Amino acid sequence: MLQYQTIPVTPFQQNCSLVWCDQTMDAAVIDPGGDLDVLLAAVKKLGLNLKAIWLTHAHIDHAGGTGELAERLQLPIIGPHEGDQFWIDGLPQQSAMFGFPPAKAFTPTRWLHDGDTVSIGNEALNVRHCPGHTPGHVVFHAPQAKRAFVGDVLFAGSIGRTDFPQGNHQQLIDSITQRLWPMGDDTVFIPGHGPESTFGQERRSNPFVGGT
């Protein structure tokens, strides 16, 4: 079964998640935005073999620690979708603007596309392309565990901002209703910030996408 632990990192309290296969203890880290020492201490404490970095999108609080972590541990960088190339190119400016430590440049080992699969140990997760917050945003769905790691697409009671360059409100709504809702009302999602919720709960009560 897929296991995970979520660790808020950076001044933005971004929900970085360690995900692992409990048969092999092989692990991936989703969105290592920063605080690498905290993340690596958790990896050690849990007894995990960290094998890969998976990115939902390339905002600084999600991707800021990626270059350094990949270099330190020689890890492949999987994702996001190539629509976020301009956000990756802009990481040095993003880190200066928000007072983050300088972000190391990086090139993803593998871009992700809608319908792709990523695997860790004996576990596989499905990739959905969910543009709107950023053009290259992806989410990771574990159907058996009924979990989805959705980055800044959807939050408990809210949705991602769309006022950034190449943000698109209608595209975000379509991503949520056409690509997240079909995962099922009982699926628990781990958002980029704040508490977990279920898609069913958001369909009932989220003021931005409730009733859809």
Q: How far is the CB of 122 from Zn ion (least distance, A)?
A: 30
Asked if residue 31 binds Zn ion (CB under 5 A), the reply is no
Asked if residue 147 binds Zn ion (CB under 5 A), the reply is no
Sheet holding 188-191: strands in order across? 117-120, 123-129, 138-142, 147-151, 188-191, 197-198
Is 28 or 58 the residue whose CB approaches Zn ion more closely? 58
Q: How far is the CB of 198 from Zn ion (least distance, A)?
A: 20
How far the first Cα of the chain sits from its last, in Å, is 31
Is 26 or 61 the residue whose CB approaches Zn ion more closely? 61
Q: Which residues contact 90 (CB under 8 A, 6 or more apart)?
A: none
Asked if residue 136 binds Zn ion (CB under 5 A), the reply is no
Q: Chain centroid to CA 19: how far?
A: 11
Give the number of residues in contact with Zn ion, rule: CB under 5 A. 4
Q: How far is the CB of 206 from Zn ion (least distance, A)?
A: 18
Q: How far is the CB of 133 from Zn ion (least distance, A)?
A: 6
Is 67 or 192 the residue whose CB approaches Zn ion more closely? 192
CB 57 within 8 A of CB 152: yes
CA distance 162 to 49: 36
The region of 22-30, 101-109, 149-157, 167-175 touching Zn ion under the rule CB under 5 A is: 149-157
Burial class (CB in 10 A: 0-12, 13-18, 19+), 190: buried
Is 9 or 118 the residue whose CB approaches Zn ion more closely? 9
Q: Which of the residues 50 through 89 are near Zn ion (CB under 5 A)?
A: 59, 61
CB 30 within 8 A of CB 189: no
Is 51 or 66 the residue whose CB approaches Zn ion more closely? 66
CA distance 41 to 23: 21
- Of the candidates 199, 198, 197, the one whose C-alpha atom is nearest the C-alpha of residue 175 is 199
Q: Which residues contact 191 (CB under 8 A, 6 or more apart)?
A: 15, 150, 151, 152, 153, 154, 155, 156, 197
Residue span 164-183 as binding mask against Zn ion, x where in contact by CB under 5 A, dash where not: --------------------
Is 116 or 152 the residue whose CB approaches Zn ion more closely? 152
Asked if residue 192 binds Zn ion (CB under 5 A), the reply is yes
Q: How far is the CB of 55 from Zn ion (least distance, A)?
A: 11
Asked if residue 152 binds Zn ion (CB under 5 A), the reply is yes
- What are the residues binding Zn ion (CB under 5 A)? 59, 61, 152, 192
